[in-house]
Chains A and B, each alone.
Chain A
Amino acid sequence: MAKRTLFGAVATLLVIAAAYANFFVAPTERTMGLIQRIFYFHAATAWAGEMVFFLCFVANLLYIWKRRDQYDWLGVACAEVGLACITIVLITGPIWAHPVWGIWWTWDARLTSTFVLWLLYVSYLLLRTLIEEPGRRALLSALFGVFAFLDVPLVFFSIRWWRTQHPAPVIMGGSGSGLDPIMSKVFFFNVFVMHLFAAFLIVERYILEKLRHDVDVLQREAGAQ
């Protein structure tokens, strides 16, 4: 418990440090101005969300292979945390887009595939509420989770494969892409902080799922007597 509290406190302090860096360390971008500062939070949260969905995918595969409850708990923990990240991405993106593009939303490849990703993981969580039997629920949601993850590479490569309204990648985008060195440092600091914060949330959510399992076991014991 003390270790988890310390983890949470460190993650929260780093979040505050990242916010400070976004507003006071990173230089103001020449053409977009102040609104570009959303990028550090928006893109770092998107990267963390995609990494969390990858972890969910690994947990789902491991559940299908080993059939251990712990992998099911990790899968659902990652699905919820990843969904929170992608929800933020889908809200902060349009807030940035409106002053820059003049529109809140457009159905281009990046935005559409991200929205589909959000729908897929909402479906993953809804599916779990529809199945009573724990083993069947874990297996079917793991199978669905593997299918849902197929959209993550599509989201990542959409701005590389197709011409989109969404900006081309500034990181790993090939020649002509790149960030100012200070902007780059601030961005990667945000990426680190968001991954750490996501890890903290996954730990907390995993413990919740374990407790739910303990309640099920106790209820069965109580029912048997």
Chain B
Amino acid sequence: MKNLESVFAAYIIGWGIFFVFFLSIVKRTSALRSEIERLKNSLPRQ
């Protein structure tokens, strides 16, 4: 089982980067949706 830690490290770091990137997209999307709602409410209704 030589190098097992290195193999796990590669996979965990790799998928960790994808996961953090995906979370950042979700977070930014959620912030923009809130901003859209706020702006829509601040505009006078036609």
Contacts and interface: CB of A to CB of B under 8 A. Distances in A.
Interface in A13-36: 15, 19, 33-35
Nearest to A37: B7
What bracket does the count of chain B residues touching chain A fall in?
20 to 34
A118 to B, nearest CB: 13
Contacts of B33: 211
B45 interface: no
A92 B10 contact: yes
Contact of B39 (A88, A98, A201, A219): A219
A45 B3 contact: no
* Majority-rule SS of B interface residues: helix
Contacts of A38: 6-7, 10-11
Interface string A192-217: 00000100010011011001101100
Contacts, number: 88
Nearest to B39: A218
B6 A207 contact: no
Interface string B32-46: 110110011011100
Interface in B11-46: 11, 13-15, 17-18, 21-22, 25-26, 28-29, 32-33, 35-36, 39-40, 42-44
B2 A33 contact: yes
B8 to A, nearest CB: 10
Contact of B9 (A15, A37, A95, A215): A95
A212 B17 contact: no
A45 B13 CA distance: 13
A80 B40 CA distance: 29
Contacts of B21: 80-81, 84, 201
A207 B29 contact: yes
Interface of B: 1-4, 6-7, 9-11, 13-15, 17-18, 21-22, 25-26, 28-29, 32-33, 35-36, 39-40, 42-44
Q: Which 5 A-B pairs have the closest CB atoms?
A: A218-B39, A211-B32, A35-B3, A92-B10, A95-B10
